[in-house]
Amino acid sequence: MATTSTTATPCKLALIQLAVTADKQANLDNARTHVLNAASNGANLIVLPECFNSPYGTKHFPQYAESLKEGPSVKALSAMAKDAKAYLIGGSIPEHDPTDDKIYNTCTVYNPNGEIIGTHRKVHLFDIDVPGKIRFQESETLSAGKQLTHVDTDFGKIGIGICYDIRFPEPAMIAARQGCFAMIYPGAFNMTTGPLHWELLQRARAVDNQIFVAACSPARDLSADYHAWGHSTIVGPSGDVLETMDEKQGIIYADLDLKKMHEFRQSIPLITQRRFDLYADVSKVKP
Ligand SMILES: NC(=O)CC(=O)C(=O)O
């Protein structure tokens, strides 16, 4: 297992639970106001929700999709990170890739100079059918990403997933074993799966891997087609909820203490107790 640094810069994480509307420019402006607000409160790692610039829905994705090179959202996010002088995990946006003419659910990540340091396309599409509750088929208009994403920051390495990606333990396991100290998921669970699984999955990914896990949702809008659960949450490496919130727009903060994470890993030393003679180390399996 790769080691996670103990001497990294202190990290103050902010999750921004944004109220998303049908007006893309208004969403970008609202994101900017909140990112600068979080930075003025000392946050140096700031996260936006899944689909923060568009309503969440398969019919909306083609309409709101934009190219990362030409579209307004990447430009706006880059300026936000630069002006906030903070790392920014830019939620996700419907991305149109002109090279293959496909649409992806894509998260872009920026350093404090406003440069893109990572791009994650949702790798597990949200295709579910819970009779009488919710049917959602992202694959009607979206294509799946083809790679896992880890970004290097002054705090250490961070793994990125988007929403449904959290249901699959392997990406978090691989990230932790390759030295990431956190997994961050912009996400938008709903009124059926939110109460059942939102917090449980974050705590599971955290406690299995002894890493920080955070998931950042849009605020709930009962006038929209899709009702987000909200409850953006930050979980510590022992599976403890550090901060959480209700369904309304707002910001939560937590100091991510890597020293405490390493102390906890020494108390319960899963890292040295694994039995790779009995099961595979997925972080080493060749695709
Ligand atoms: N919206 C998602 O991608 C996932 C979700 O809501 C769930 O897994 O539940």
- Kindly report the pTM of this predicted structure: 0.96
What pLDDT, in 10s, does the model give residues 35-57?
Answer: 999 999 999 999 999 999 999 99
Give the CATH number, domain containing residue 42: 3.60.110.10
Contact by Cβ (8 Å): 171, 199: no
**Which value does ipTM take for this structure?**
0.98
Which residue has the CA at smallest separation from atom 4 of ligand 1?
164
How many domains does the chain contain in total?
Answer: 1
- Cβ–ligand 1 distance for 175 under 6 Å, the answer no
With a cut of 60, say whether residue 5 has pLDDT above it.
no
Mean pLDDT for 73-96 is 98
Residue 71 lies in a domain: yes
- Cβ–ligand 1 distance for 188 under 6 Å, the answer yes
Give strand pairing partners of 87: 45
Residue 162 lies in a domain: yes
With a cut of 80, say whether residue 95 has pLDDT above it.
yes
Between CA 17 and CA 240 the distance in angstroms is: 20
Residue 69 lies in a domain: yes
Give, in order, the Cα–Cα distances in Å from 163 to each of 10, 27, 29, 183, 188. 26, 20, 23, 11, 6
Residue 3 lies in a domain: no
Contact by Cβ (8 Å): 52, 218: yes
User: Which atom number of ligand 1 is nearest to the Cα of residue 56?
Assistant: 1
Between CA 49 and CA 162 the distance in angstroms is: 9
- Cβ–ligand 1 distance for 226 under 6 Å, the answer no
Residue 285 lies in a domain: no
Q: How far is the CA of 246 from the centre of ligand 1 (A)?
A: 18
What tokens does 221 get? 């809008």
Nearby residues of 212 by Cβ (< 8 Å), 6 or more positions away:
13, 181, 182, 183, 206, 234, 235, 236, 237, 256, 261
Contact by Cβ (8 Å): 170, 274: no
What pLDDT, in 10s, does the model give residues 147-171?
Answer: 999 999 999 999 999 999 999 999 9
Q: How far is the CA of 187 from the centre of ligand 1 (A)?
A: 7
- Higher-pLDDT residue of 3, 136: 136
Nearby residues of 145 by Cβ (< 8 Å), 6 or more positions away:
104, 106, 120, 121, 122, 123
Annotated catalytic sites, by residue? 50, 122, 163
What pLDDT, in 10s, does the model give residues 161-214?
Answer: 999 999 999 999 999 999 999 999 999 999 999 999 999 999 999 999 999 999
Residue-number span of the structural domain to which 129 is assigned: 11-273
Residue 148 lies in a domain: yes
Residue 62 lies in a domain: yes
Q: Minimal CA–CA distance to 50: which of 101, 94, 112?
A: 94
- Cβ–ligand 1 distance for 163 under 6 Å, the answer yes
Residue 140 lies in a domain: yes
Q: Minimal CA–CA distance to 11: which of 257, 264, 265?
A: 257
DSSP state of 114: S
